[in-house]
Structures are given as C-alpha cells and as structure tokens.
Amino acid sequence: MPENHARTPEPRPDGASETPAGQTAGGPVPGPEAPDPAPAESRSAAKAAAKPAGSPVFAWLKEVATVVVIAVVLSFLIKTFLFRAFFIPSESMVNTLDVDDRIFVNLLVPEPFSLSRGDIVVFRDTKGWLPPVEEKADGPFTWVQDGLTFVGLLPDNSEQHLVKRVIGLPGDHVVCCDAGGKLTINGSAVDEPYVNPAEVPQVRNFDVVVPEGKVWVMGDNRNHSADSRAHMDSDGGFIDLDDLEGKAAVIAWPLNRITTLDNYPDVFRNVPAAP
C-alpha cells in the first residue's frame, strides 16, 4: 500500500511557490486583527460635537428675512395679476364708499371676466376729469412709501384714479329721465337703491348711446359726483374700457366697514340687451 504522507510541493518552473500568499505549507498565517467599525451614532455625535453652534439670533433673523421676502414677492404678484389696493379720496360714492376707505380691486375685470352693469370700477384719469395734482415735496421716507405701494403693501394714493358705478355698457341707450324721474336703460326704467338716500338727486337730463369700447359711469352720491354727466364735452363723458383698472370687490379698511361690494344684479335684471 502507498504510504499516507503529505506531498511536498514541487517547485514551479518559474521558481514561484505553489503555496498561496499569506499561507504556509502547514496552514494559513494569521494576520493582524481588523478594528471594529465605529457605530453610526458615534460618528454623528462626533460630527455634531465638532460643528460650531450657530447663533440663535442669526437663525431667527434669517427666518424673519425669509418670511418678509416671500410676503413681498406674493404681494407684488397679487397686486400685478389679481388684486390691487386703492383709497377713496372723495365723497362721490357715499354711502357705498366713504372718504378714506381702502378697497381691493379685482384686476381680472373686464379681462378675462366680463364687466356688468352696476359694477363699481376704478379707472385711470386719461380724460382730464381731475384737476392737476401739485407735486409734493419728498420726505425722508417717501421712498419707503413708494416702494410699499409698488409691491402692493400700501394702497395707491396718487390721486389720479377715479371710482364710479357702471350704468351703461357698450351699445346701451341711457336716458335721464322718464316721466317718473327714473333713469332708463334701453327703454327700461330702473330703481337705484344704491343712490345716496340722504339727498334727492337733482335731475340732469341726458340722452346717450354708449359707443363700442366705452362705458357710461355715475357716482352713487349723485348730487356730489362729477361723473359722465359732468364731462359730456370730453369724449361724450364716456370712459374707455382700456382705462379700467378693475372692479372694486371689497372694502378692506377701516375694520368696522369691511364688506364685499354689491353690483345689484336685480336692478338690471329686466334691462334688455343693447340693440
């Protein structure tokens, strides 16, 4: 029988040993023991300890600045595309609007949403209805006020806008007055509950047909409103649709007068369409 002896490996022709690296002929050679990996919690704690603590005041100021920037951007976008604030400088819309009321105007009327009879509108004075405004001396904080107005955080107080109620739309035939002293639109007499009840409106006769692209406007305080009736010598008293800033939607200030503004659809429900 052959003897059971361990075979001594013969040398390879290139002179290298057949014994694997790290292993002797008698078995594996133990290497240095690898250190255990540090737990994840220990590494996180070490990083947190090495990171210098930030100032709580600086963090608070950063948060406040972020909120302010977001508020300004949102206000500017809203003022540009949705709503804009104005203040009422005159008594022409009493009792509906009082002097110094702050209102928000829906900029989506008349485009893309349509205008209706009875809507209260704010429009630019391109017809010269208002007297020239004297230039005011700039104060130390005028730039702040102008900036807040620009971004929409303050109402426009340029005094170059007017606010009235739309009575006649393009094509309407508006007449004052019938035998009963009522305004008629396309031959239909209307009762006007929005007119200031403190005074009986003085009759000022007119008979107009509203051209395309224009509207006929009147103030609710009829005896104290220099509206379309008072400016018939200037483009017939009509206002261009392009001059409309939008439809007054709500009184926002003072707090005791916060309310939405009505366009009294029932008043004009039976008015026929323009011929």
Q: Given a cut of 80, is residue 125 above it in pLDDT?
A: yes
Asked whether 170 and 214 are in contact (CB, 8 A), the reply is: yes
- Rounded to whole angstroms, the Cα distance separating 62 from 69 reads 11
- Rounded to whole angstroms, the Cα distance separating 232 from 133 reads 22
CATH 2.10.109.10 fits 72-129+149-267, yes or no: yes
Task: Name the percent of the chain lying above pLDDT 70.
Answer: 67
**CA neighbours within 13 Å on the CB side: how many for 110?**
20
Catalytic residue numbers read 92, 164
Angle between helices 56-81 and 142-151 (to 10 degrees): 60
Q: Given a cut of 70, is residue 71 above it in pLDDT?
A: no
User: What does pTM read for this prediction?
Assistant: 0.69
Sequence-ordered list of residues with C-beta below 8 angstroms from that of 173, at least 6 positions apart, any chain: 185, 186, 187, 207, 208, 209, 210, 274, 275
Segment 43-54 shows an average pLDDT of: 53
Q: What is the pLDDT of residue 100?
A: 92
Q: Given a cut of 60, is residue 51 above it in pLDDT?
A: no
- Rounded to whole angstroms, the Cα distance separating 62 from 59 reads 5
Q: Given a cut of 50, is residue 76 above it in pLDDT?
A: yes
Candidate ranges 32-46, 139-153, 218-232; pick with highest mean pLDDT: 218-232
What does pLDDT average to over the chain? Answer: 80
Segment 97-115 shows an average pLDDT of: 93
Q: Given a cut of 90, is residue 114 above it in pLDDT?
A: yes
Q: What is the pLDDT of residue 6?
A: 46
**What is the per-residue burial (b if ≥16 Cβ within 10 Å, else e) of 147-186?**
eebebbebbbeeeebbbbbbbbbbebbbbbeeeeeebbbb
The ranges assigned to domains in the chain are 72-129+149-267
Dig out the tokens for 106 from the structure. Answer: 């829906």
The pLDDT confidence band at residue 210, using thresholds 50, 70 and 90, is very high
pLDDT in tens, 169-181: 999 999 999 999 9
Strands 188-190 and 239-240 come out as unpaired
